[in-house]
Amino acid sequence: MEYDMIRYCKKLQRDLTNLVTGMDEYQLQSPEKLLRWKEFETGFTDKPFVDRLLKDVAKAKKDKKNGEEYKSANEMLTEYEISMNDLKKVIKAESDAESLDGGKFILSGNIKVLENGNVGRCYSRAGEMMVQCIEDAYKELGFNVPITGEYLVASSEEGWAGAH
C-alpha cells in the first residue's frame, strides 16, 4: 500500500503543473483498496430503489423551491410502498453523508448510493493530496486569488460519467 501511495504521489507531482496552469480537470484511477468509505444506513438493500427514491426527493425539493408542482412525501410513500420513517431514514442518510466533516481529512465531493443500498462518502489520500497540491500551487505561482479543488469518486462501472 505504501508503494502504491508513493507511485501516486510521483504521478500527481509530475502532472499538477499542467493541471494548475492549463487544465480544469485531472483524472486518476485509484485501486479500490486505497479508498475508504463512510456508510450511512438507509434501511434498504436495493441500490436502484434508493437511487430512484433520492432522485425523486431531490426533484421534489427543486420543484417546490421553483414554485412548480411537486411530488409530495405522501405521494412518494404510496408510490414506493414505504413508511414515513423509511423515507426519513433515507433522506437522513444522504443528509448525513453530505454534511460529514472530514476533520483534518478532505473528503470526496460526491455522495454515492453503494451497492448494498446504503449512502456513502469516500476518502482517498491521493484525492486529498491532489487538492492540497492545487492549494499549494497557487501560492507557489504567486496567484492573487486563492484556488482549490475537489475530487470525485466513481466506480469503473460508472466510468467518467459517475464523477461528473
The answer to whether residues 44 and 90 touch, using CB atoms and an 8 Å cutoff, is yes
Percentage of the chain lying above the pLDDT 70 cut: 82
For the chain, the domain total comes to 1
13-64 pLDDT, tens digit per residue, is: 666 655 555 556 677 778 888 889 999 999 999 999 999 999 999 999 999 9
Which domain, by its residues, includes 41? 2-163
Rounded alpha-carbon distances, angstroms, from residue 42 to 33, 54, 135, 144:
24, 11, 35, 44
